[in-house]
Amino acid sequence: MGFKDKVVYQIYPKSFQDSNSDGWGDIRGIISRLDYLADLGINYIWFNPMTVSPQRDNGYDVADYRSFDPRYGTMEDFELLSAEAAKRGIGIMFDMVFNHTSTEHEWFKKAMAGDEKYKKYYIFRKGKGPGLPPNNWQSKFAGSAWEYVEKFDEWYLHLFDVTQADLDWTNPEVRQECADIVNFWRSKGVHGFRFDVINLISKSSFEDDPNNYDGRQFYTDGPREHEYLEELNRNSFGQDDDHLTVGEMSSTTIANCVRYANENGKELDMVFSFHHLKVDYKNQMKWELQPMDFMSLKKLFTDWQIGMQEAGAWNALFWNCHDQPRSVSRFGNDKEYRKESAKMLATALHMMRGTPYIYQGEEIGMPNAYFTDISQYVDVESTNIYKVLKEQGKSEEEIIHILQERSRDNARTPMQWDDTDNAGFTDGKPWIQAADSYHTVNVKSTLNDPDSIYRHYQKLIEMRKTMHVVQEGRFIPLLQDHPKIYAYERRDENDSLIVLSNFYAENAEADLDLENYEVYLSNYADTDVKNHMVLRPYEAVILKRK
């Protein structure tokens, strides 16, 4: 298995680096920053979609799978990026959005023109009666998951936006088209693939949800899911010895992921699951705030670590991505202990069993944007919920506070390169404004600080590259009932590491037998090893057996 020593860096291209002053990040901008990423030590860059799209869902509504949106650049630009990345030992991972296409895609346009071949690429159904959709499923973006087409007297399924029509994977031609798209990008030097909401492609049936919920039980981890992934593997990326694949799994289970990402299987290398990023959702509702439920967080991490380990399956590890608020603001403390808590979160995650993913800016401790006015928010989800919460009678102040904590825009503000205008991202007007924190939190100041969050990430990445126990060692939970500390051991035949992370802004005490251990890496300069450890606020330490 060639990926257990790897670390992936996620770039949100729109916000990373603009090279032509149009306020929109682009491929040539990314090329100009490759040395920075090589210095960090990462092995792969995962790019959010840069293909042609109307941008109703930030590029996850694909109108052409084989062409770049001109705002990002050209195929020639990408071929240069691929070559320059390869020179630095960095591979490319692309996002493949195969559950749905944009309604602007030529397949859907042909379907709407009445072409039967292409109509069968999508899921069209008769309604239950005049004006009634085929079932009561709800779109993940609110409202019915069905849209009526008068000329056919039929409805098409869209689990997401109305402009994102679901593909019919029971059609072998659809499956072949998807394999062909992967093979096209393989021919361009892309050998990493992240498959968007890939566990939704097999719909089990189209009956009403009896609980009047959203129907997800009928389209999540469906009956032919594993068959479809095995076929895709066989017909495309599985033909590469050096491929790296990850599936984004929506509302999934360990039992299913054990099959998706089993080292003896023929589906995917690893999986993203999101359960740990709901521990601060009150009543599991995104827009209702509560402090994180730390014991739930620990249990989720441990259950997934053990469950996947025992079955020989592999996790993708992450705190941050383009859809989540910044972890240092969410699970750390971005005011008094920004540096300590950012390093702590990195330590707790990177030493686990799995492949770590770093989201742009995470390695310098970028916090949430803390925008103060609704006019600063761009994301459609945020502007929609603003209206909903207004209608519910919430005050302006309360709504803005919720958005400051939860909006996806927190992750999408420009990468903070320096303290010049627009954080060094663009000379033009950025598509979304930079967060005010760029004056002090930026790459330039970080690189001048030997004790920076960035340097800590470098050390964690180096440990994964060089230490067998980090790559292959077993995960053994410790102090499972401790209310403030997340602790575990990584162990192989020769080595043992103990990782202790205090998730709180006050001291936390722990008793362990640490007689034969010494400090390997800590986020405090003077950590002392004792059987009775007193961890300071957000202290994280990796201890190695002598």
Return the closest-CA partner of residue 108 out of 71, 70, 147: 147
Q: What is the DSSP string of 405-449?
A: HH-THHHHSPP---SSGGGGS-SS--SSPPPGGGGTSSHHHHHT-
Residue 232's Cβ-side half-sphere holds a number of Cα atoms within 13 Å equal to 26
Q: What is the rounded CA–CA span in Å between residue 444 and residue 436?
A: 16
Close Cβ partners of 391 (under 8 Å, ≥ 6 residues apart): none
Look-up of token digits 């995917």: 268
Which residues sit opposite 540 in a β-bridge?
A: 501
- Phi then psi dihedrals of residue 194, to 5 deg: -110, 125
> Hey, what are 423's tokens?
């954080």
Q: What is the DSSP string of 57-105?
A: TTT-S-SEEEEE-TTT--HHHHHHHHHHHHHTT-EEEEEE--SEEETTS
For this structure, is 196 an active site residue?
yes
Look-up of token digits 């602790």: 487
Are 206 and 108 in contact by the 8 Å Cβ rule? The answer is no
Distance of CA 485 to the CA centre of its chain: 25
Return the closest-CA partner of residue 6 out of 245, 233, 273, 282: 245
Burial 32-66 (b: 16+ CB within 10 A, else e): ebbeebeebbbbbbbbbbbbbbbbbbbbbbbbebe
How many angstroms separate the first and last alpha carbons of the chain? 29
Close Cβ partners of 335 (under 8 Å, ≥ 6 residues apart): none
> Hey, what are 252's tokens?
């999934």
**Bridging pattern class, strands 44-47 and 8-11:** parallel
Distance of CA 61 to the CA centre of its chain: 17
Quote the Cα angle for 85-87-88, to 5°.
65
Residue 493's Cβ-side half-sphere holds a number of Cα atoms within 13 Å equal to 0
Which residues sit opposite 44 in a β-bridge?
A: 8, 91
Indicate left, alpha or beta for 6 from its phi (over 0: left) and psi (-120 to 50: alpha).
beta
Indicate left, alpha or beta for 226 from its phi (over 0: left) and psi (-120 to 50: alpha).
alpha
> Hey, what are 450's tokens?
């030997």
Helices (H), 88-158: 106-112, 116-119
Active site residue: 57, 168, 231, 248, which one? 248
For this structure, is 288 an active site residue?
no
Active site residue: 196, 280, 362, 539, which one? 196
Task: Point out the residues that are catalytic.
Answer: 196, 248
